[in-house]
């Protein structure tokens, strides 16, 4: 299968290449694609160098699948061009997520919605993916009425520029700033741009995307997104209020049986999810599972995942795997 990776030289693009190789995706020809300034450079895939090409050349090559991680503007302009050439696009930006005609897919939850006619498929936001991985089985059994989530997000979600800012601040050096304030020894309640309602775009992604993926607009979601000086992954404190009551041990059992979810929840041994251990892994880790005694039918969870993997690259490749397995691509 001929596969294009658009944004192959970026942080998520590099992880996409790594995940494709790790999961032995059936790539017969790889087309690494990037901006004009990167054309001609080489990326390594499965131990071999591959030359980076431009977007127009990639469209002309008619790959079966194109994995996009090059930002919303590029996706809006170029995804339709790939689709018109017969390529199935899986887009990692926010460009198509809330388009009513585009599927927003977490494979473990709703891959069955994909048809051969879906030529542009949206990959959800990283913080949304890890949350709905835990929420989906709970919603199915107990019906979630309300979600209150606070995220503690890795700087890698911003990109290379943010990683450099933190490294410079560690070293006591001046350099380019990805954030309006220092991130070292700090926490910024400011992920993405502010919308007119006072929430950031990142916070509203959690609201809108959760409702779309779980196919239930009645779920009330409110969120606060915070950037912290961590590189291993995103963490989330999640409070759920259910329609129906539950047993905490049944919650643990249900999550433990959910593919892609690992329960780490033993306070006797100080076992709970942390980004330092989630880094480089594909599962979503859930712990600190406990009843909220201040409200009826309410539960607290702590959810951690590597935002570059399950939150981005791995989820994208899993969608591609579903397309390949069901002959839905190209």
Give start and end residues of each alpha helix (H) in the chain.
Answer: 11-22, 55-60, 72-84, 107-110, 126-142, 160-171, 201-213, 248-256, 275-278, 314-325
| Residue 322, both tokens | 């579903």
Q: Is 7 annotated as a binding residue?
A: no
| 295 within 8 A of 114, measured Cβ to Cβ | no
Question: CA of 113: how far to CAs of 51, 99, 318, 324, in Å?
Answer: 35, 15, 14, 15
Q: Is 38 annotated as a binding residue?
A: yes
Exactly one of 50, 139, 191, 234 is catalytic; name it.
Answer: 234
184 is catalytic: no
How far is it, in rounded angstroms, from Cα 7 to Cα 280?
20
How far is it, in rounded angstroms, from Cα 103 to Cα 84?
17
Q: Is 97 annotated as a binding residue?
A: yes
How much is the CA Rg of the chain, to the nearest whole Å? 20
Q: Is 280 annotated as a binding residue?
A: no
| Residue 64, both tokens | 């079966």
Compute how many other C-beta atoms are within 10 angstroms of the C-beta atom of residue 65.
26
Q: Is 153 annotated as a binding residue?
A: yes
Residue given tokens 């930006």 in the structure block = 93
DSSP class of 188: B
How far is it, in rounded angstroms, from Cα 153 to Cα 276?
13
| 121 within 8 A of 319, measured Cβ to Cβ | yes
Q: Is 185 annotated as a binding residue?
A: no
Q: Is 37 annotated as a binding residue?
A: yes
Exactly one of 50, 126, 139, 191 is catalytic; name it.
Answer: 126
Q: At CA 306, angle to CA 301 and CA 309, rounded to 5? A: 130
How far is it, in rounded angstroms, from Cα 62 to Cα 2?
8
How far is it, in rounded angstroms, from Cα 242 to Cα 262?
22
Q: Mark the binding-site residues for NADP(+), compressed into ranges.
A: 9-12, 37-38, 307
Q: Mark the binding-site residues, compressed into ranges.
A: 9-12, 37-38, 97, 153, 227, 307
Q: Mark the binding-site residues for phosphate, compressed into ranges.
A: 97
Q: Mark the binding-site residues for substrate, compressed into ranges.
A: 153, 227
Residues with active-site annotation: 126, 234
């Amino acid at each position: 299968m001929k596969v294009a990776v658009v944004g192959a030289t970026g942080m998520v693009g590099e992880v996409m290449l790594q995940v494709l190789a790790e999961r032995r995706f059936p790539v017969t020809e790889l087309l690494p694609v990037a901006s004009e300034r990167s054309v001609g450079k080489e990326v390594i895939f499965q131990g071999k160098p591959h030359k980076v090409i431009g977007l127009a050349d990639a469209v002309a090559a008619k790959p079966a699948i194109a994995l996009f991680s090059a930002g919303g503007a590029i996706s809006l302009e170029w995804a339709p061009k790939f689709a018109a050439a017969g390529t199935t696009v899986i887009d990692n930006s926010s460009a198509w997520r809330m388009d009513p005609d585009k599927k927003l897919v977490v494979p473990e939850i709703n891959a069955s919605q994909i048809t051969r006619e879906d030529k542009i498929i949206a990959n959800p936001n990283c913080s949304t993916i890890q949350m709905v991985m835990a929420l989906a089985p709970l919603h199915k059994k107990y019906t979630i009425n309300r979600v209150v989530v606070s995220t503690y997000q890795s700087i890698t979600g911003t990109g290379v520029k943010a990683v450099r800012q933190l490294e410079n601040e560690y070293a006591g050096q001046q350099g380019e700033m990805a954030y309006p304030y220092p991130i070292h020894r700090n926490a910024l309640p400011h992920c993405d741009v502010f919308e007119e309602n006072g929430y950031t775009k990142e916070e509203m992604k959690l609201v809108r995307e959760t409702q779309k993926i779980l196919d239930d607009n009645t779920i009330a979601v409110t969120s606060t997104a915070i950037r912290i000086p961590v590189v291993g992954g995103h963490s989330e404190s999640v409070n759920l209020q259910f329609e129906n009551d539950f047993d905490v041990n049944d919650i643990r059992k249900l999550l433990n049986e959910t593919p892609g979810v690992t329960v780490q929840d033993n306070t006797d041994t100080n076992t709970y999810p942390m980004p330092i251990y989630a880094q480089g892994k594909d599962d979503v880790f859930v712990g600190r599972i406990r009843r909220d005694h201040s409200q009826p039918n309410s539960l607290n969870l702590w959810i951690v995942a590597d935002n570059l993997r399950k939150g981005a690259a791995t989820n994208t490749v899993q969608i591609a795997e579903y397309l390949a397995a069901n002959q839905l691509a190209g």
